[in-house]
């Protein structure tokens, strides 16, 4: 990539917590963060926010009378954005863009409003404005009192990394020199879980690790949903306070065979990885944080794509979905977080039930993958 992009902040709320040291400590153990809750009329594994993050969101919700009407997907993004802008040192005088997306949007609020409509025949006045996808970036912009452009979008599970693509393009255009990007998801609702069960991809496993992401021998799908938000601040050029740098970006879309199709060797991933790595020697890539949602086909096709690109000399491979589940539109930025933490601490975080991989050199470059329904793949190369 001709111009380096600096990541000057990354903040999140997730099942792992909201403090970088706590999040890292949670990555260092082999514990998963799934609990059983009664959702969609059945005991269901999910990965909810930790107690401290829930308390922070509740405090935010009551900090302004208007905020009590907002969906959790909006509140999660607002909480993470407040932390990110503080970390980056941006002030009210800075003009910056905002692009924070979501796969499902205001799931909980939409379901409640729709249920009320079915029961009463009437819709609440705020039903429409509080359930539009544009809620997230617009409310974050309001909360931060920003004056730059704000964009919302949904590209299913690659939403957050598409936000990164948008941010990079805006920065390279010269129209702004700072951009906030991210994803937020609050999908732990009856109807959302029911939809995943209807696709026959939700975990029914009773194993010690119910999400078997990167288990390439599994015989059943094991995807589990998690919730959270992650936001990072991007700036053009190499900044002294950068957590990491974006060295390469790639993207590709497959021709649809059906609504959730992806080819046997994930052609979209092959193309996106090659594009992101066009200025980088393959041997320089130390780790790949895979999308790997815990489904049979999703994990295996991505692995085959990596084999096609890298041959026999594979980098270290990992994912965080065995630990915190699939957070849909937020997942790509939570993978960024894992990638940056591994580089900062020079420590590889593997998958406890997968084949053991030995770190033999410092972790300086990490490739992060994400893909959405229909093969909308994004790959981003990060460096320290």
- In DSSP terms, 151 is beta-bridged to 99
pLDDT at 188: 97
pLDDT at 264: 64
pLDDT at 71: 95
Nearest to 322 by CA among 288, 347, 346, 291: 291
Q: What is the DSSP letter of 66?
A: G
Q: Which residues of the chain have pLDDT under 70?
A: 1, 255-265, 374
Distance CA 198, CA 173 (A): 43
- Span 8-66, pLDDT tens digits: 999 999 999 999 999 999 999 999 999 999 999 999 999 999 999 999 999 999 999 99
Distance CA 117, CA 123 (A): 5
Torsion-angle region of 127 (φ positive above 0: left; ψ -120 to 50: alpha; else: beta)? alpha
DSSP of 180-245: EEEEEE---SHHHHHHHHHTT-B----SSSS--TT-TT-SS--B-EE-EEEEEEEEES--TT-SEE
Cβ partners under 8 Å of residue 336, min gap 6: 7, 10, 160, 164, 230, 232, 368, 380, 382
Max Cα separation, the chain? 64
Tokens 């406890």 locate to: 352
């Amino acid at each position: 990539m001709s111009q380096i992009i600096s990541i000057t902040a990354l903040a999140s709320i997730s099942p792992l917590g909201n403090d970088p040291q706590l999040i890292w400590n949670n990555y260092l153990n082999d514990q998963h963060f799934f609990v059983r809750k009664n959702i969609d009329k059945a005991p269901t594994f999910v990965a909810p926010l930790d107690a401290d993050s829930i308390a922070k969101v509740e405090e935010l919700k009551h900090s302004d009378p208007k905020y009590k009407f907002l969906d959790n997907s909006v509140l999660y993004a607002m909480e993470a954005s407040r932390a990110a802008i503080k970390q980056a040192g941006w002030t009210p005088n800075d003009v910056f863009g905002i692009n924070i997306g979501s796969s499902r949007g205001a799931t909980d609020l939409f379901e409640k409003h729709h249920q009320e409509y079915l029961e009463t025949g009437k819709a609440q006045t705020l039903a429409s404005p509080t359930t539009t996808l544009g809620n997230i970036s617009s409310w974050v912009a309001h909360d931060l009192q920003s004056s730059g452009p704000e964009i919302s979008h949904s590209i299913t599970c690659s939403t957050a990394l598409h936000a990164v693509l948008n941010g990079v393009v805006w920065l390279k255009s010269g129209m702004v020199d700072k951009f906030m990007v991210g994803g937020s998801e609050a999908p732990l609702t009856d109807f959302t879980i029911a939809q995943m069960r209807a696709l026959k991809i939700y975990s029914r496993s009773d194993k010690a690790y119910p999400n078997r992401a990167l288990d390439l021998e599994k015989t059943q799908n094991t995807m589990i949903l998690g919730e959270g938000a992650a936001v990072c601040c991007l700036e053009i050029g190499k900044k002294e306070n950068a957590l990491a740098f974006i060295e390469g970006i790639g993207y590709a879309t497959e021709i649809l065979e059906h609504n959730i199709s992806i080819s046997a060797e994930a052609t979209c991933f092959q193309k996106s990885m090659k594009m992101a790595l066009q200025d980088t020697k393959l041997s320089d890539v130390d780790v790949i944080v895979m999308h790997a949602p815990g489904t049979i086909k999703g994990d295996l096709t991505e692995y085959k794509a990596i084999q096609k690109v890298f041959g026999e000399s594979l980098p270290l491979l990992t994912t965080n979905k065995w630990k915190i589940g699939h957070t849909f539109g937020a997942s790509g930025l939570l993978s960024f977080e894992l990638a940056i933490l591994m580089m900062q601490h020079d420590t590889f975080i593997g998958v406890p039930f997968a084949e053991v991989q030995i770190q033999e050199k410092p972790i300086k470059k990490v490739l992060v993958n994400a893909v959405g329904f229909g093969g909308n793949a994004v790959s981003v190369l990060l460096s320290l």
